[in-house]
Structure 1
């Protein structure tokens, strides 16, 4: 497997994981909206979930967007 093919495979896996995480979080937000927890509890839980989502997805996105720097002789 060539270097470019490996990069594309890894990128695709990261993108797939981001999509799966987005789905998990959207489902959780929808469930929270249907619960009778009171506004304060919903707000706190939503804020916690947003922080969790950000921590889970941002590193994956940053790695995808990172410029590719190669050195001679890499394979």
Structure 2
């Protein structure tokens, strides 16, 4: 497998994981909304879930958005 193919495969895996996590969190939010909880409990649980989601998905997203550096930048001779 070439380097470009490996990079593409990793990107596809990360994107797939992100989609699966998004669906899981959507289901969890639906569960919270249907649970017989008081407003304060729902708010606290929702906040925890939002923090969890951010911690799980943001690193995957940041990795996808990082530019790929394929070679060292050119250096100029100060002379």
Partners in 1 of 2:30 and 2:2 — Cα distance? Answer: 42
User: Is the radius of gyration larger for structure 1 or structure 2?
Assistant: 2
Equivalent in the alignment of 1:10:
10
Aligned length: 72
TM-score (norm 1): 0.93
TM-score (norm 2): 0.89
How far off its partner does 1:71 sit?
A: 2.9
Q: Gapped runs of 5+ residues in structure 1?
A: none
C-alpha RMSD of matched pairs (Å): 1.0
Equivalent in the alignment of 1:66:
66
Q: Gapped runs of 5+ residues in structure 2?
A: 73-79
